[in-house]
Amino acid sequence: MINDFHKLCLFLSLNPLSYVSHYFIEELYQLALNTLQVKQHLAFYCEDILLTLAVCYDDDLRFSCFKLISLLMNESQPTTKDRLAYLNRICYESLYDFHIYYDKIKPFTIESKIIDLTKQDINDLINKQFIRKDLEEKIIEAIYQLGGYVFIKMHRSPKDAYQNLCKEINDEWSRYWNLKSEEDARLYFMRVENIYQLKLLFKTSDRLHEDLKQIDSDGKLILRKWINSIPNEYRCFVCNRQLNAVSTYQFNQQSINNEKQIKDLINSKSFEDIILKIPYSHAVVDCSIDLTNSKVTIIEVNPFSKRSSAAKFSWTIDKYILYYYYQNNQSVFIKL
């Protein structure tokens, strides 16, 4: 029997699918809503542990906690998708920002540079696509150190920019992006080699604009060494420090042809050790596997959340696979 509130909340965070979890938070919300003494007690004594629940890996329990915490802080209720997305971003998704985990996986990932942006830098990028001279020089130097071509991102990448970018440069890819005739613009439009291209991506990407607008203070610009082709990319689902499931994004003939080799590698301790270098108990990890030498490269780490694609799985239908498969089967569930 659990008779300590902190222990109870820890149990709930580790067992978010139990009926008790959602029932308890909802009951707590109703008590706080209708009884001022309960609300004051929770606000004074329990805010920290409720914030811990607010970064739980289960979306539904996390959103219920946002609702309760908003009540305790006398803020408007998160009733709209935009408000929930905002709270999710600042409370949960921000924990998975690249600069937080990069040093932990540096030997196993693509070489990258992290450049600090002031709030003024961010405002200039949003409103004028302007970059101050010393910052521009720092970016140019980073591009050079990374081999002359980079992939840029803030919290997210500008992968939505293609259509707007086509209009902006009037489809003159050879002129503005130095693309060769055999290079498909849809594959290379995020390859950046100069400041002008970087500014154009900031101008044409709604994702970058949204990320910039959500930054309340200083931010980070991420530059990653450009890789023309990433072989055999897989999405890995880690929950409670256990690798439960791995999936390709789409049909991959090479994966099918080498099914046994890939499944053996994914179920090996060496693969698990690399994936679990991440500083998180729960995460969605993208990696690539070079079948010629079994080299595993971590591409990026994403929040364990419905906001991250489940690839060939479903966050709803396959929830128990994504949350508990290894615990129950001592192996990884793999979809190729």
Residue 19 pLDDT: 61
Range of weakest confidence among 169-173, 255-259, 298-302? 255-259
Assigned token pair, 178: 């130095």
Question: Is it the case that residue 103 has pLDDT exceeding 90?
Answer: yes
**Is the pLDDT confidence value at 181 over 80?**
yes
* pLDDT score for 47: 67
**What is the percent of the chain where pLDDT is above 70?**
94
CA distance 12 to 33: 21
Nearest to 11 by CA among 45, 47, 52: 52
pTM of the model: 0.87
Alpha-carbon 55 to chain mean position: 14
Tell me the per-residue pLDDT of 264-315, one tens digit each, with 9 for 90 and over: 999 999 999 999 999 999 999 999 999 889 999 999 999 999 989 999 999 9
Q: Length of the chain in residues, anyone? A: 336
Statement: residue 1 has pLDDT above 60: no
pLDDT at residue number 195: 95
Task: Tell me the domain boundaries of the chain.
Answer: 5-91, 111-225, 233-335
Q: What is the pLDDT of residue 3?
A: 52
pLDDT tens digits, one per residue of 41-76: 888 877 677 777 777 888 888 888 888 888 888 877
Query: What's the Cα-to-Cα distance from 196 to each of 136, 202, 205, rounded to whole Å?
Result: 10, 10, 14
Read off the pLDDT of each residue in 162-190 and give the average, rounded to a whole number: 93
pLDDT of residue 4: 67
Asked which of 210-214, 220-224, 312-316 is least confident by mean pLDDT, the reply is 210-214
Average pLDDT over residues 234-240: 96
Q: What is the pLDDT of residues 13-44, one digit of tens each?
A: 767 776 667 778 888 889 988 999 888 888 88
φ/ψ of residue 306, rounded to 5: -60, -20
Flag whether pLDDT at 123 surpasses 90. no
What whole-number distance in Å separates Cα of residue 176 and Cα of residue 128? 19
Q: How many of the other CB atoms lie within 10 Å of CB of 274?
A: 21
- With 50 as the cut, is the pLDDT of residue 2 above it? no
Question: Can you state the angle between helices 206-213 and 119-128, rounded to 10 degrees?
Answer: 140
Q: Is the Cβ–Cβ distance between 335 and 329 less than 8 Å?
A: no
* Sheet-wide strand order for 242-248: 295-302, 283-290, 233-239, 242-248, 333-335
Q: Over 60: is that where the pLDDT of 242 sits?
A: yes
Question: Which CATH number is 233-335 given?
Answer: 3.30.470
